[in-house]
Amino acid sequence: MTTLDDLPTPALVLDLGILKRNLARMAAAVARHPGVALRPHMKTAKSLDVAALAAPGHGPITVSTLAEARYFAAGGYRDQIYAVGVTPRKLDGIAALNAAGASVKVILDDPEVARAVAAHPGPLAALVEVDVGEGRGGAAPDSPLLAELAAALGGRLAGVMTHAGHSYAGRSAAEMARIAEAERAGVTQAAERLRAAGHAVGIVSLGSSPTVLHAERLDGVTEVRAGVYMFGDLLQMQLGVHAPEDIALTVLASVTGRKPERQAVLLDAGALALSKDRSTQAAPRDYQFGWVLGEDGAPRFGDALVVRTHQEHGEARGGEGLLALRPGELVRVAPNHACLTAAAFDRYHVVDGGREVVAVWDRVNGW
């Protein structure tokens, strides 16, 4: 039996029970909206084993890299949206996947890219990206660009999609619900405008974990996308998306040194293992580089945080009991941002509430 004691630290630990609970919660949230499908975003988990639970029966998924598209297609997930603005040079790789049986749909917001998709000799389909207020990619719902993109795509238009990423700046359930409704209104307005112009718009897709969980209605929407809900993290917790005990992903770390003169201990989880993400910096509570938990993943040191990181060093301070830890003792660190923290590791060590490692699941990193 492999236990946490056998793992090289830092190691990425995923709690199966919490993961399943988070998946059930999202499934229930989506089930409030009959006819709306969940297309889980695998950019956080990047794992076939997680996909088997999050998108059962090889259901539709969302991916963020061509490497993910290939990995999940090889694993039997044919219906994908590659939800990062595509470039002409990437079309060959996607068309090759589609020619081999997958249906990987790309997204775009530039007429030049739309023309490249339309002119490509291989099988391709694209969604027009709509900007409902995040201010990242996408055309505004009332912009003339929408019709131009649809016209350029011609028969390769598969639908419209948006991502209300600005929901991460929301600070209350009411605010999330308001952003969710703006997300819905914007993407359905785009769909209706294109339909009015004579285009067939099959897919109307929106999502972010906060908006999908808080949406009061989804009329006109065919599917929702979300990813970080699977694992949770300190930012999502601060947004009120989930409770502290819903964080499924932690970094197992060893104490490497004691610094009582500055009320600190050093951990072997630093900037690479935790990432330099500081998502909670602007949140109600700033968790610095992570919240230090007991080796069972439960709070044990109050509000002890990783306050400083170097490449392989994390310095933990605050809370209670931290200074009683001895070198080699284990802690777990809850991350600011699960997507970035997980990306430092090539595998998950899966536990189910206890110390036993019940499975090792791989991840597809890189591009």
Where does this chain bind its own copies (CB under 8 A)?
A: 5, 8-11, 43, 64-66, 84-90, 93, 109-110, 112-113, 116, 135-137, 165, 254-258, 262, 266, 268, 271-273, 275-278, 310-313, 315, 326-328, 339-340, 343-346, 365-367
The amino acid present at 348, given as its one-letter code, is Y
Give the shortest CB-327-to-its own copies separation in angstroms. Answer: 5
Compute the least distance from the CB of residue 329 to its own copies, in Å: 9
Shortest approach of its own copies to residue 31 CB, angstroms? Answer: 27
222 SS3 class: coil
Complex with its own copies: residue 15 or 277, whichever CB lies closer: 277
Query: What is the closest distance, in whole angstroms, from the C-beta atom of residue 111 to its own copies in the complex?
Result: 9
Q: How far is the CB of 116 from its own copies (least distance, A)?
A: 8
| Nearer to its own copies among residue 159 and residue 165 (C-beta) | 165
Which neighbouring-strand residues pair with 12? 251
Map residue 123 onto helix, strand or coil: coil
> Which neighbouring-strand residues pair with 304?
none
When the beta carbons of 49 and 109 are compared against its own copies, the nearer one is 109
CB of 270 to its own copies, least distance (A): 8
E strand or H helix that includes residue 73 = helix 66-74
Burial class (CB in 10 A: 0-12, 13-18, 19+), 54: buried
Rounded CA-CA distance 143/314 in Å is 47
C-beta closer to its own copies: residue 112 or 121 = 112
Q: How far is CA 225 from CA 61, 67, 180, 251, in A?
A: 8, 19, 12, 26
CA distances to 56, 58, 69, 135, 229 from 50, rounded to whole Å, are 10, 11, 15, 30, 12
Min dist. Cβ of residue 216 to its own copies (A) = 26
Nearer to its own copies, 56 or 328 (CB): 328
Is the CB of 9 or the CB of 47 nearer to its own copies? 9
**Which of 231, 314, 232, 315 shows the shortest CA–CA distance to 274?**
314
Q: How far is the CB of 235 from its own copies (least distance, A)?
A: 13
How crowded is the C-beta side of 92, counted as CA atoms within 13 Å? 1
Q: Does residue 233 sit in helix, strand or coil?
A: coil
58/278 with CB nearer its own copies: 278
Q: What is the strand order of the sheet 103-108 is part of?
A: 37-38, 223-224, 203-206, 157-162, 126-130, 103-108, 79-82, 61-63
CB of 17 to its own copies, least distance (A): 25
| 3-state secondary structure (DSSP) of residue 166 | helix
C-alpha–C-alpha distance, residues 239 and 247, integer Å: 13
What's the alpha-carbon Rg for the chain, to the nearest Å? 22
CB of residue 345 to its own copies, shortest distance in Å = 6
52 CB-near residues (< 8 Å, 6+ apart)? none
Nearer to its own copies, 196 or 367 (CB): 367
Pairing of strands 264-267, 249-259: antiparallel
The structure tokens 């089930």 sit at: 31
Taking the least distance from each CB to its own copies, the nearer of 36 and 43 is: 43
Instruction: Give the residue carrying structure tokens 């110390």.
Output: 355
Q: Which C-beta is closer to its own copies: that of 36 or that of 71?
A: 71
